[in-house]
Structure formats: structure tokens, C-alpha cells
Structure 1
Amino acid sequence: MKNLIIILGEDLQINHPFLDYFFSCYKKKFDSLASIKYIQNNNKELPFYIENATKNYDNITICANENGFYTLSRILATLTTDTIELKSDTLMPSQVVKFSKNSFLIDINNSKINLIKAEPTKELPEILTQDNHNSKIFHIIDIDKESAQILLEPLTTTYNVNIALTQVIDGLTKIKVSTSKYGHIDSFIDSVANLFIGKIIPSDNIVEFIAKKLIQNNKKITFAESCTAGMCAATLGNTPGVSAIFDGSLVTYSNNIKNHWIKVDNEILDSFGAVSAQCVEAMANGAMKLNGADYAIAISGIAGPDGGSEQKPVGTVFIAVASTSGTISSRLLLSGDRDYIRAQSVLHAYTLLLRTYPELN
């Protein structure tokens, strides 16, 4: 199915925290984002654009500010030769298929249009559109995209499914499997799990998957982060219920803090530097001892844009994971801007945790 998102109103378009919130809600409904179109309220071509869009998209979700909502309500009524009525304290066309407060669903040219009145700082009204296209997302670790594609293609024919693959980071491939009415997604995923024993993560979100495994096993985790400045911990905190397995973590930017808070020996810092395997291993062990957790992740690196050298260029990142059974570290050389390097570092760290401790898989 072809889906479209329209953001109507410049005040919504420049409000990045609100857009993140809206897109997050949309992804929970549809698993992934659709094509996105930004339109201003005073765009005189809006009626013609909406009418054309109904001929090209199955689902159109429109997030509009107050002025845009009432303008578009009238436009949609006009396109269906309909009248405007007050339903659930909201003005909307009388022929809506479904509605709730500040949100309604209408059918035009067999396209479902969900118009939502959004007010930043307030809870988003209900997204009423339903995606009838059956799909699921999972991950495979330690298999590159090309190899996974070759190995999975025969199974797609057997179970009548389609797959889309992307290399999230080296060693982590994300796969979306979708099907029409007669496909068998669950059977396909079961076969993939048998093909890649111990390497499939049956979730769209590997951090949420790990969090749930930790909660299930009553095991705690902590972090010592330098260049990521708490991103590992913040990502974990997105999962409800993590307080059961997460007491806290540390951001240790300076060598002084690394030494005083988690007892990274000055000899390690002087001899190998803060960006080294020796340092992150000491950070992970120090954080685990201080916190009393069962697992610890440590990250230290050069995210840029400055600070690199010939021996350790920008993008050099060391990660370590530790448990009572031992500690392992890995050196990465990542590309991209500062934010992308840090985001990749977090995913690499969690993937190393999965790879090192199979009980979390």
C-alpha cells in the first residue's frame, strides 16, 4: 500500500520536537514512515494537490494546525459534495467513516484520508487510519545485507512474501517482510530463525528487545559513556518498565572524572589514552562495580568534527561490554557527521552486547 504524510502549517514544520513526537506515533501505527509532504496553509494549490493525492495513495495522514484543519475540512467536504457538521466537538464533513476528538477519517476516490488537528505541547489526537498491508520488521546480526538477501530469496518464494533489507551498521541488517492476503509472514520468520540460529532479533527495535530480555531475566545494566554523552542510557530509557533493570549510569567526558568516578587508572589514560580498548574496558568494569549491575557498556571515541589524529582519526570509537564472566571490547572506524557517528556507536554497543552474551538473544 502507498501511504502519504502531509504536514500542514509552517508552525508545525519548524517544531522539531513535535514532529519527532508525531512521527513516533505514526511509526507505532504503521511500523515505518511514509512519504512526507510539507505544505503551507496559504497554498492555493492545496485542493488540487489533495485531489491528485487521493488517486495515487491508499492512506493519507494529514497533520494540520488549527487554521489548516478547518480549511482542509471544508476542502474535503467540497471534494465529496458534502456538508460540515459538528461531531465530537469538532467540525468535519458529515460523511466521515470514523471520527474522534480533533481527528476524522474520510474516503475519497478509495483513498482513506485522516485529518488530525495538532496542537504542540498537547497530546496528539488519535491516528484513525489502518494499514491493512501485513508486515513485520526484524534484525539479523553478523550477516551482511547482500548475503542475507541471497539466503532469504528462496524463502520469500516459499512463503509468498516480499522483503526489503537495509544495512543499519556493519554486522546488523534490518529486514521488513510484507505480504498480500495469501502470504505467511510468521512461517517465513520461523524459517529465518532456523536458518540463522541465534542471530535473529525478532523486533524492530533491538534496544527495546534487550530491555525486555533484561526485565524478563531480572538482570540489571549500566553505562559509562564519553563521546555519546548518555545516549546509550537515554535510548534504553525509551522502553517502559526499564526502572526495574536500570538504576543509573555515568557520563565521563574528562580523564579526571573517569579516574575519580569509575577508577580508570591514570596509567591507562597516560599510556593508551581515553580513546582506547584499555580505557573502555576499565570504564565498563568500573561502572559495573560502582553500580552493582550484571552488565555494563562503555563507549569512548572521537565523534568530530575535530580531535582526530593520524593514529586515531575522527570516527574512531572504542566500545566495551562487561559482565561478571568477563569483558570484551571492539574498535570501530565510523563515517558521517558527529550525530551519525554517535548514533552508530550506540547501535554497535548494543549489538556487541547481544553478540557477547547469547542469553540476551
Structure 2
Amino acid sequence: MKRDVIFVGNRLILNEAYERYILRSIKNRLASIDSINYFEESDKGLFLHLEGLLKNESKLIIVTTKSTFTIVGKLLSTVTADNQILKEQMLIPSRASILENGSYLLTHNSSEINVILATEGKELPPILIDDESRLATIHLFNEELLSAQTLLEPLAQNFDVKLEFSELVEGWLKIRIHTRKHGNLSQFIASARGLMHHKVIAATNIAAFIIERLGTHHKKLSFAESCSGGSLAHFFTSQSGASNVFEGSLITYSNTLKANWLAVDDYALEHHGAVSAEVVVEMSEGA
């Protein structure tokens, strides 16, 4: 199986330091790289090059700029007889089942194609392709552990993947998916989404996913925390891009600060207790 890297876009060709950083990141995932090719934005030879590569079994990483990301998706859709759809504010081939923060994975015959949107001066989006074993993470909400296992484990056998379940809190399951070269990771995730609809989020980093979604919809986020002691604020501010959506957190550990900072009513504190649904509602309204 060949391992190929394609850079598409004038800015990627000119910025040698950023190019070296991208290649280092890719080499951490692939045992070797057989070829590296560069195409300017208007290079018509890209279509023929893609068509030739995908005739054989290949692992292909395509690094694009913002201006070439949609163009590459259109070319791939043409080569693979697919259509583009709008998903998470990006036009991508409809068969791309794994999409994570500007990176998507597409399977075609015996080939895997990972398209990555690179932005100078920013961390490279996750590389979703590697050599032998592959690993992905999905988050499942509002589903009990036993029910999730009953639904997903037969599906996992069909696609030759192994699942590890972890219940983070009630109603939130984190599922690690392992597969080797004979398994089909992307098709398993697509089938899980089809089975459970809006309950599934395919993202390794859930905080980064939430930040991206809130930013897309121009929403803001703030917290009134108590027993979490600022953990929620740290959960988000440890991610790049948090400043675009996160406004702040009030850590009101004592009843005095709940009353003075968040206007929580004394009656709610005395009759329901600080750890109660009634007080949580008033804290949220106060924030």
C-alpha cells in the first residue's frame, strides 16, 4: 500500500517552516511516505493525479488551505462518484463518515483519504489516518450502558472493530473504537450514527468539538460552579479557541457567595440545600 501526501494551495507551498511541521506530524502517524506532491490552487493536474492514485490501494493525506478545502472535496466527489453535502459548516463528500475539527476521513474501494484544513500559525487538525491499528472515539448521550452495549456490540462484530465503554457520568458514555487493517472504522461510526441519530458525537476531544459548534452558531458559554471548583472552566480554557466562545465562570462554593454573587434565594438554600435542583436553577439564572 502506497502512502502519499499532497499539499494543495500556494500558501502551503511558500511557508516552508509550516510545511516541515505538517510533515513531522504526518510522519508520527505513518511508518513512511512514498511521495509528496505540491499543487497550486489553479493546477488542473490535481484531478488526474487523484484519479491515478485512487486506482490502487493507497493511504492518502491531502493538506489544504481554506480556499482549497472545498475544491478538493469537489474533486474527490467527482473521482469517487459521490456528492458534496454541508456538514458542520463545511462542504465535504457525503461518504466521509469521520469529521473532526477540520479533518475528515473518506474510504474508497481499498483506499483511505484524509483531507486536512491547515491554517498557518495554528495547530494542525487531527490526522485521522495511520498504518496498522486505528483508534477513534465517540461520545454517546442519553443512553444506558447496557442498552448501548446491546445495540453497538453486534454492529462492531460486523465491521471487525473492538469497543471499550466508559461511563463518564450518568447519561454520558465514552466509547473507544479499535480496529486493524481488516476492520472498517469509518463505516462502523456511520452505522452507529444512523442507528442512534443525534445521540452520537464522533470526536476525540469533546471540549474542542463544543467550542467549534458554539463558534459556528455564534453562541457564548459561561458557568456558575460550586462543587466542581472551576473544573468546567479549566476543561474549556485548556483548549485553543476557547476565548471565542467562553465568557467566564463564577465559583460560588459557599452559600454566602451563592446569595451575594448569584442572587440565590435564602429560602432555596435553607429548605432545599445547596446541592439541589432548585439552587442550580437559581445559580444559572444568576449567572
TM-score (norm 2): 0.52
The answer to whether the 8 Å contact 2:163/2:177 transfers is yes
Question: Any residues of structure 2 matched to 1:10-159 within 5 Å, and which?
Answer: 132-159=132-159
Identify the residue that residue 60 of structure 1 maps to in structure 2: none
**1:19-49 CA-partner distances (Å, limit 9, x unpaired):** xxxxxxxxxx89xxxxxxxxxxxxxxxxxxx
Identify the residue that residue 242 of structure 1 maps to in structure 2: 242
SS for the counterpart of 2:229 is coil
The answer to whether the 8 Å contact 1:215/1:242 transfers is no
* Structure possessing the higher relative contact order (Cα contacts under 8 Å, 6 or more residues apart): 2
Identify the residue that residue 176 of structure 1 maps to in structure 2: 176
> Which amino acid in structure 2 is aligned with residue 148 of structure 1?
A
TM-score (norm 1): 0.42
How many Å separate the matches in 2 of 1:133 and 1:240? 28
SS for the counterpart of 1:136 is strand
For residues 182 and 253 of structure 1, do their structure 2 counterparts lie closer, same or farther at Cα, with a shift above 3 Å needed?
A: same
Identify the residue that residue 268 of structure 2 maps to in structure 1: 268
- In the TM superposition, residue 194 of structure 1 has moved relative to its aligned partner by 0.7
- In the TM superposition, residue 147 of structure 1 has moved relative to its aligned partner by 2.0
The answer to whether the 8 Å contact 1:211/1:242 transfers is yes
How many Å separate the matches in 1 of 2:256 and 2:163? 49
How many Å separate the matches in 1 of 2:247 and 2:153? 44
> Which amino acid in structure 1 is aligned with residue 207 of structure 2?
V
**1:79-107 CA-partner distances (Å, limit 9, x unpaired):** xxxxxxxxxxxxxxxxxxxxxxxxxxxxx
How many Å separate the matches in 2 of 1:207 and 1:186? 22
How many Å separate the matches in 1 of 2:201 and 2:266? 39
The answer to whether the 8 Å contact 1:164/1:176 transfers is yes
- In the TM superposition, residue 153 of structure 1 has moved relative to its aligned partner by 2.5
- In the TM superposition, residue 136 of structure 1 has moved relative to its aligned partner by 0.6
- In the TM superposition, residue 264 of structure 1 has moved relative to its aligned partner by 1.1
Identify the residue that residue 97 of structure 1 maps to in structure 2: none
Gaps of 5+ in 2: 1-27, 30-129
How many Å separate the matches in 2 of 1:153 and 1:269? 45
Gaps of 5+ in 1: 1-28, 31-129, 288-361
How many Å separate the matches in 1 of 2:253 and 2:179? 47
- In the TM superposition, residue 131 of structure 1 has moved relative to its aligned partner by 6.8
**1:253-286 CA-partner distances (Å, limit 9, x unpaired):** 1222112211112222233222221111100011
For residues 224 and 134 of structure 1, do their structure 2 counterparts lie closer, same or farther at Cα, with a shift above 3 Å needed?
A: same
The answer to whether the 8 Å contact 1:224/1:249 transfers is yes
Identify the residue that residue 359 of structure 1 maps to in structure 2: none
- In the TM superposition, residue 246 of structure 1 has moved relative to its aligned partner by 1.1
Identify the residue that residue 223 of structure 2 maps to in structure 1: 223
RMSD between aligned alpha carbons? 2.0
The answer to whether the 8 Å contact 1:141/1:171 transfers is yes
Identify the residue that residue 58 of structure 2 maps to in structure 1: none
* Residues 1:191 and 2:191 aligned together: yes
**1:296-336 CA-partner distances (Å, limit 9, x unpaired):** xxxxxxxxxxxxxxxxxxxxxxxxxxxxxxxxxxxxxxxxx
- In the TM superposition, residue 203 of structure 1 has moved relative to its aligned partner by 1.4
How many Å separate the matches in 2 of 1:141 and 1:219? 21
The answer to whether the 8 Å contact 1:142/1:199 transfers is yes
Identify the residue that residue 35 of structure 2 maps to in structure 1: none
For residues 269 and 164 of structure 1, do their structure 2 counterparts lie closer, same or farther at Cα, with a shift above 3 Å needed?
A: closer
Identify the residue that residue 163 of structure 1 maps to in structure 2: 163
> Which amino acid in structure 1 is aligned with residue 159 of structure 2?
Y
How many Å separate the matches in 2 of 1:269 and 1:163? 43
SS for the counterpart of 1:253 is coil
Identify the residue that residue 45 of structure 1 maps to in structure 2: none
- In the TM superposition, residue 219 of structure 1 has moved relative to its aligned partner by 0.5
Identity rate of aligned residues, in percent? Answer: 38
> Which amino acid in structure 2 is aligned with residue 258 of structure 1?
K
SS for the counterpart of 1:229 is coil
Q: Which has the larger radius of gyration?
A: 1
How many Å separate the matches in 1 of 2:194 and 2:240? 30
Query: After TM superposition, which residue ranges in structure 1, 4 or more long, deviate above 3 angstroms?
Result: none
